[in-house]
Structures are given as structure tokens and as C-alpha cells.
Amino acid sequence: MGSLLGPRPSFLPRRCQGDGRPAEARCVFPQVVRRPRNDGVAALTGAGSCRAPRAGMAGQFRSYVWDPLLILSQIVLMQTVYYGSLGLWLALVDALVRSSPSLDQMFDAEILGFSTPPGRLSMMSFVLNALTCALGLLYFIRRGKQCLDFTVTVHFFHLLGCWLYSSRFPSALTWWLVQAVCIALMAVIGEYLCMRTELKEIPLSSAPKSNV
């Protein structure tokens, strides 16, 4: 039964239907709108206000940012690791067999082979160096998706170094086979180690939140 002043104001929110807005729109506290009626008595009615979610709220998880300086630094670092560890392996293997180390073992493509002792020592050093560089990918790259890119880049610069050192393009089949095996070992082992690091559980802090 209505009173003399008309119906009581309604503060209950109305449902948002048929207004053409997305289903994710949420209703906020209703606004009070005064609407005149035909009988001259003003009635207070509650009108629900629907607001669509703001655009750009959902961000990408771990978005990749293009950083040329970082990529250049990683290339230089991996190239340093490559030649540094290769020199150490060559020196160690040569010391075991009492052979004199030389740059030909590192940059001469014709020396690699099974027929001569320096060729076998160089092949062994290149394979061991691939394992060491895989650890370099783990500590300095830390992304499994980028291991193959950095591996190919390192060996590409090594190809240029051999080309400049011997003044001719490497054409020995043994050299190409050794480089292919080293690329496969370095990329696969490095990606495996990086993936294991990425799949580790993220520790969550169990400290209670302070109430403000």
C-alpha cells in the first residue's frame, strides 16, 4: 500500500540487461534519479549504472623487451667464453700428450681430422668446449628459447675467424661435421639446462600481510 508521498525510494541495483554492453560489465552503487510522473508527484527510483572494464588491464606475462645493448653484450660474452674455454681445453690436451699448442688447432680448418695427432686433439677439444659453452648459456643467457640463436651466432663468428685466419673459406668436410656436432651438443644441452631452471617452483613468501 503506497503512502501519500508516493512509492518509497528503491536503492536496490537493477540488472543490466538489453543495453548492448558486454557481459563482463559490472554494476556499481545505484544512482538516485528523480523522475517526474504524470500525477505531479516526484518519485525516487534507483537506476543501476553499468561500467565496462577498462581496456589494457590484462597485461602480458613476462613480456619480451627488445634490448640491443643487452643482446650485444651477451654475444660478446659468449664469444669470449667460447674462445677462452677452447684455449684452455687445447692447452690441457696438449699438455697431456706433450704437444706444443698453436692457433692452427683453433682456426685452421684443414688441421681437423683423424689422420694426425693434432687433428684428433683439436676435435676432442672442440667437443669438450661445446659442453663448457652449454654451461655458459645456462649462466649468461638463462632462456631456453634463445640457446640455439646464440649457439649459431657464436659458431658463425668462429667461421668468419677461420676464414680471416687462413685467408680462404673453410671447405674441409671434417671441419663442417665437427662444427655441426658442436652446435647440436651446445644448443641441446644448454636448452635442457635452461629449461630445468625455468621450470623450478617459484618460492612464495609466507610472511603475513600487515593490515593498514
Please tell me the predicted confidence (pLDDT) of residue 150.
Answer: 95
Asked if 139 and 194 touch (Cβ cutoff 8 Å), the reply is no
CA 86 to CA 106: how far, in whole Å?
Answer: 8
User: If pLDDT is split at 50, 70 and 90, which confidence band does 79 have?
Assistant: very high
The residue with cell 528523480 is 34
Query: Does pLDDT of 127 surpass 50?
Result: yes
pLDDT at residue 193, as a whole number: 92
pLDDT at 11 over 90: no
Domain boundaries, the chain: 68-198
pLDDT mean over 106-121:
87
How far, in Å, CA of 207 to CA of 120, rounded? 58
Inter-residue contact 185 to 124 (CB < 8 Å): no
Cβ atoms of 138 and 200 within 8 Å: the answer is: no
Buried b (16+ CB within 10 A) or exposed e, 16-50: beeeeeeeeeeeeebeeeeeeeeeeeebeeeebeb
Give the span between the Cα atoms of 126 and 119, in whole angstroms: 11
Measure the CA–CA gap between 55 and 12, rounded to whole angstroms: 28
| Per-residue pLDDT, 19 | 52
pLDDT of residue 155: 96
**Residue-wise pLDDT tens digits, 34-49:** 555 544 444 444 444 4
Grid cell, residue 32, equals 538516485
194/49: higher pLDDT? 194
What is this structure's pTM?
0.63
Task: Return d(Cα 45, Cα 29) in angstroms, integer.
Answer: 13
Tell which residue, 116, 123, 114, has the closest CA to residue 93: 123
> In the Cβ-directed half-sphere of 132, how many Cα atoms lie within 13 Å?
19
